[in-house]
Structure formats: C-alpha cells, structure tokens
Amino acid sequence: MNDALLALSKRHAREAAHLHREGIGTGFLSSLGKAFLRQLYSAIPSCPSAFGYVWQEPDGEVLGFIACAQSVGKMYKQALWRRGVWMALILARFVVRPGIVRRIWHTLRYPSQVGDDLPSAEVLSIAVSEKARGKGVGKALMQAALAEFARRSVARVKVAVWSENETANQFYLKCGFRLAITREHHGLPMNVYVIDVK
C-alpha cells in the first residue's frame, strides 16, 4: 500500500468530518453538522461491517478519505451501539424540525429500501481536499477500498451520488462503476452505480 494511505482511525474523525462537509455539500449528512460527522467517523473504524482509508501527507495533513460499509444496515446498528448516545445528543437540536427528523428516519431506513437487485456493500463517502484534486488521491483511495472489499469476499459494491454532480459521476465511471438506477433520496435524484469487485 502507498505510504500516504492509512486505515481510517478514530484520530482521523475530525479531518474526515471537515473533508465530508467541504466536499459533499449536497448530502443530507453534511446538513447535520461537523459534530455529528465526527461521531460517525469515530465509530466507523470500530464497526466490523465498515472500514475506510485516509490519504495523509508526511506532515500529517489529511488530504482525502473514503468510508465504506460491507453492510450499510449492520454498520448503522454498530455505529449507533458505539456512538449512539453522543449522536443522539447532537441530533437533539433537530427535534423541533419535523422535516429533519423525517430525513434522519429515512436515512436509517435506507438500507432496507435499496432493493434486492443492488448490493448491500457501499462506498458511503469519499472526499478529497480542493488542493489535492486531480492528483490521483481519489483514485488511490478507491483502489484501496475495492481491494479491501475483495479481501472481505464482497462481489459487488454500490455508491450513490447526486445526479447533477457531474464531477463525481464522471469519477465513478472512470473507476469502473456502471449506472444501475436513478432514484430519489431526500428529494434529490440520485444515481446509484455498481461495480463488480475482482
């Protein structure tokens, strides 16, 4: 593995949350704030059904990350078991906003609604800092993730992206994903791509 690639760990949670918020602005999770994202990325490394990688420079700066789940449903349960109290405290401020509560519920139910024709394994998020884009960081993170899926004997993986995010759509196509379906998620049209893991 490249020296700059490291397994996502709890100590990377703050940087991953920042990169997520900056790079995935249209995503619902970004709207929940950096504090929530920090809890999520603190939990993922300890979830047996999830993993991730960061691209870290020699000076310690994290320029990109990827987070994945072998099973999204299991990952949510494991993350809630590990960090659920902290997540609930952070999300409590949204209780007076029914629209947000509905979207949180929809997100938790998402794994059971994707359909039998789509794999349960998923690239949850990938983001690269603006100054590192176009330098192969995203591709290296994706290659590492797909290799880990293969090591875990996962045959197919999906990823969902806002259909109007042309840069991200082109990135997934270049990585070998193919469009499987376009469906609405949180009121936005989302392209769901699938790749066969070799």
Task: Name the band, by pLDDT with cuts 50, 70 and 90, for residue 86.
Answer: low
Task: Name the band, by pLDDT with cuts 50, 70 and 90, for residue 184.
Answer: confident
* pLDDT tens per residue across span 92-117: 655 545 554 454 445 445 544 455 68
The token pair that represents 114 in the structure block: 């994707």
pLDDT at residue 15 above 60?
yes
Give 152-182 as a DSSP string. Answer: TT--EEEEEEETT-HHHHHHHHHTT-EEEEE
* pLDDT tens per residue across span 118-148: 899 999 999 999 999 989 999 999 999 999 9
Give the SS3 label for residue 50. Answer: strand
Domains identified in the chain and CATH numbers: 5-196 (3.40.630.30)
Q: State mean pLDDT over 4-24.
A: 93
Could you tell me which residues come within 8 angstroms of residue 135 by beta carbon, excluding any fewer than 6 positions away?
Answer: none
Give the SS3 label for residue 103. Answer: helix
| C-alpha span between 186 and 178 (Å, rounded) | 22
pTM, whole model, 2 decimals?
Answer: 0.82
The token pair that represents 153 in the structure block: 């004997």
C-alpha pair distances (Å), 45 with each of 59, 61, 65, 67, 134:
22, 19, 12, 9, 27
| C-alpha span between 193 and 172 (Å, rounded) | 8
Could you tell me which residues come within 8 angstroms of residue 171 by beta carbon, excluding any fewer than 6 positions away?
Answer: 138
pLDDT at residue 174 above 90?
yes
Q: Tokens 């066969």 belong to which residue? A: 196
